Amino acid sequence: MAPLGDNVVVTKIKLEKMLSMKGGKGEASYVNNSQAQAQHARSMLHLLKETLDLVQLNSPEIPFVVADLGCSCGSNTIYMIDVIIKHITKRYEATDYEQPPEFSAFFSDLPSNDFNTLFQLLPPYGGGSMEECLASDSHRSYFAAGVPGSFYRRLFPAKSVDVFYSAFSLHWLSQVPDIVLDKRSTAYNKGRIFIHGANESTATAYKKQFQGDLAGFLRSRSKEMKRGGSMFLVCLGRTSLDPTDQGGAGLLFGTHFQDAWDDLVQEGLITSEKRDNFNIPVYAPSLHDFKEVVEADGSFIINKLDVFRGGSPLVVNQPDDAAEIGRALANSCRSVSGVLVDAHIGDRLSEELFNRVAHRASSQAKELLEQLQFFHIVASLSLA
pLDDT given at position 295: 97
Res. 352: pLDDT tops 60: yes
Q: What is the pLDDT of residues 212-266, one digit of tens each?
A: 999 999 999 999 999 999 999 999 999 999 999 988 888 888 888 999 999 999 9
Res. 128: pLDDT tops 60: no
Average pLDDT over residues 336-362: 90
Average pLDDT over residues 96-101: 87
pLDDT given at position 18: 56
Res. 287: pLDDT tops 80: yes
Average pLDDT over residues 29-48: 68
Assign 38 a pLDDT band (cuts: 50, 70, 90). Answer: low
Assign 10 a pLDDT band (cuts: 50, 70, 90). Answer: very low
Res. 269: pLDDT tops 60: yes
pLDDT given at position 24: 52
Give the separation between CA 56 and CA 44, rounded to whole angstroms: 21
pLDDT given at position 19: 54
pLDDT given at position 5: 38
Res. 22: pLDDT tops 70: no
pLDDT given at position 133: 46
Res. 27: pLDDT tops 80: no
Lowest mean pLDDT among 128-137, 286-295, 327-336: 128-137
Average pLDDT over residues 133-161: 85
Res. 380: pLDDT tops 50: yes
pLDDT given at position 37: 63
Res. 127: pLDDT tops 80: no
Q: What is the pLDDT of residues 161-173, one digit of tens each?
A: 999 999 989 999 9
pLDDT given at position 25: 56
pLDDT given at position 368: 81
pLDDT given at position 8: 41
Q: Look at the alpha carbons of 232, 290, 168, 299 in this order and tell me if their dihedral is positive or negative.
A: positive
Q: Which residue has the higher pLDDT, 44 or 8?
A: 44
pLDDT given at position 11: 47
Q: Which residue has the higher pLDDT, 319 or 203?
A: 203
pLDDT given at position 40: 65
Res. 142: pLDDT tops 70: yes
Average pLDDT over residues 327-338: 86
Average pLDDT of the chain is 86
pLDDT given at position 337: 86
Res. 4: pLDDT tops 80: no
